[in-house]
Structure 1
Amino acid sequence: MRIAVLSDIHANREALQAVLEAVERLRPDRLVLLGDLVGYGPDPGFAVEMAQKLAAAGALCVLGNHDEAAVHGPSGMTAHAHEAALWTRTQLSSEQCAFLAALPLTATLAGALFVHASARTPQAWPYVTDERSAGQCLAASEAALIICGHTHQPALFYARPGHEPVRFTPRRNLAAPLSALRRHVVVVGAVGQPRDGDPAACFALLDTERAEVTMVRVPYDRQATARKIAAAGLPEWLGMRLQIGR
């Protein structure tokens, strides 16, 4: 089975449209949305509307912390994230808020566990950023493969039985193997706000038959998104960071 995994869209219409065009060309068997449909970006209504349509067509979708903040109000967020969450709430319909509120924290497909942040207390939104946090994520689940987002930085963690995970940084558009002798945490990067120094949108293509995952990078019109961020009155830095991928 080939599964396209999109995380951290962050209300970036231009990035989402470019990625969905790439997904259509790849023709995966299933689509998974890993949360944070909204937050930071200027088009939250469009992002949720597309997620609703994709879910109606069979896509899996889980909740992200920015989705939760848009529905229930921000708490413990950075100043920019807090401001964007309050603005986002004013842009969503009651139906769209209800859709976000009903999203689950986790989903399973083809033996893999999908979660926005980590399998370890997913409702607390911990980050998987290093070997220690990857080990905690694996310890919280029996799944051999856990797919998550949240950090906006693509990464793979390989774990042999009885050993700490080892981190690997995947190359753009090159498949990385997933060994049957190891457990894995795959962090898929971000569609709408990459932070790994590459400003191109990122999504993952998981191939369970070939036992590999590819971080697919897709260029998009970042300047158009930045202009809309400024026009909406959102913090200027949210547009600037799209240009540098940080």
Structure 2
Amino acid sequence: MKLALLSDLHANRQALEAVWDHAREQGFDQLVLLGDYVDYGADPCWTVDFVMARVAEGAIAVKGNHDDALSVDSHHSLGAHVQQSLNWTRQQLSAQHKDFIAALPLTARLGDCLITHANAHAPAEWGYIHSRLEATRSLYATDARFVFCGHMHDPHLYHVSTTGKLGEFIPVDGVAIELSPARRWLAIPGSVGQPRDGNPAACYAMFDTDTEALTFHRVPYNHEAAADQILKAGLPPELAERLQHGR
């Protein structure tokens, strides 16, 4: 089975449309959505409609921290510019949108793959995976051989051997990586809607469960149009600038 792994869409319609077209050209059997469908971007309603439609078709979707923060009862520590865009997003979404997002799970399991937004060891606390140690902590929290996380907007791959040796590397666009059965793996496909590694091209990944090969993809899109929509919506200018520079 071939999985298409999309994370951190962040209401960026232009990026999502480009990635969706690319993924369908590549061909896949199962769509996996790793959270953060809203906030930052100017098209939250369109994006949530897309997620709802794909879930109705059989996609797997988990909740991200920005999705969770839609609830007025949430206790997320977010910056002032995030609060502004989050408040704006709440006003755009319908009750149906909010109910759908609120009902999403924090984790999902598909065979030997664990799917979550932030991490596997404490998914409700929304901690980031910045290092090998944090990645290994997640891997040891589950018996799944493969853990797929969002949250971090940079594509990355971590692994641990049966002897506890840790490793990591930054993937190369379009190059298939064979995931050795002698190791356990944690992959972060990067962000569709807001990459932050200095490259404005959207990120996603494909995983073939039969060959155990993982391929990270970068997809150029009209980030200038997405940035312009953010400005027209009256959202903070820094949210538009991030898209221009992939930061």
Aligned to 2:56: 56
**How far is 1:213 from its partner?**
0.8
Q: Which residues of 2 match residues 113-192 of structure 1 at below 5 A? A: 113-192=114-193
Q: Flag as ranges the 4+ runs of structure 1 deviating above 4 A.
A: none
Q: Check the 8 A contact 1:178/1:213 in 2, yes or no.
A: yes
Distance in 2 between residues matched to 1:53 and 1:69, nearest whole Å: 22
Q: TM-score, normalised by structure 2?
A: 0.97
**Structure 1 residue 164: Cα displacement:** 4.2
List aligned pairs for 1:1-246, cutoff 5 A: 1-72=1-72, 73=74, 75-246=76-247
Match of 2:129, as an amino acid?
Answer: V
RMSD value, Cα: 1.1
| Aligned equivalents of 1:71, 1:43: Cα separation in 2 | 19
How many residue pairs align between the two structures?
246
- Give the drift of 1:87: 1.0
How big is the shift at 1:171? Answer: 0.5
Aligned to 1:71, what secondary structure does the other structure show? coil
Counterpart-to-counterpart distance in 2, 1:126 and 1:229:
27
**1:165 Cα deviation (Å)?**
2.3
Q: What is the CA-CA distance between 1:108 and the residue it aligns to?
A: 1.0
* CA distance in structure 1 between the partners assigned to 2:36 and 2:89 by the alignment: 12
Residues in 2 aligned to 1:85 and 1:41: alpha-carbon distance in whole angstroms = 10
The answer (yes or no) to whether the contact 1:134–1:165 under 8 Å persists in 2 is no
Contact 1:74 1:85 in 2 (8 A): no
Question: Displacement of 1:110 after TM fit?
Answer: 2.9
Q: 1:75·1:82 contact (CA, 8 Å) conserved in 2? A: no
Identity of aligned pairs, percent? 44
SS for the counterpart of 1:23 is: helix
The CA deviation string for residues 69-117 of structure 1, in whole angstroms up to 9 with x for no partner, is 1233562012222221111100100000000000000011131000000
Q: Deviations over 1:39-78 (max 9, x none)?
A: 1101000110000000000000000000011233562012
How many Å separate the matches in 2 of 1:114 and 1:149? 9
Rounded to whole Å, the distance in 2 between the matches of 1:141 and 1:41 is: 33
Q: What SS does the aligned partner of 2:37 have?
A: coil
The two structures have a TM-score, normalised by structure 1, of 0.97
CA distance in structure 2 between the partners assigned to 1:71 and 1:54 by the alignment: 23
- How far apart, CA to CA, are the structure 1 residues paired with 2:66 and 2:76? 10
Alignment check: 8 A CA contact 1:131 1:164 kept: no
Distance in 2 between residues matched to 1:38 and 1:196, nearest whole Å: 20
Give the conservation status (yes or no) of the 8 Å contact 1:62–1:106: yes
CA contact under 8 A between 2:136 and 2:159: conserved in structure 1? Answer: no
Q: Secondary structure at the match of 2:109?
A: strand
* Higher alpha-carbon deviation: 72-81 or 126-135: 72-81
Tell me the secondary structure at the aligned position of residue 204 of structure 1.
Answer: strand
Distance of 2:71 and 2:138 partners within structure 1 = 26
**Alignment partner of 1:20: what SS?**
helix
Note the residue ranges of structure 1 that are not aligned, 5 or more in a row: none
Q: 1:20 to 1:74 in 2, by over 3 A?
A: farther
Equivalents in 2 of 1:80, 1:138: separation in Å? 33
Deviates more, 1:59-68 or 1:168-177: 168-177
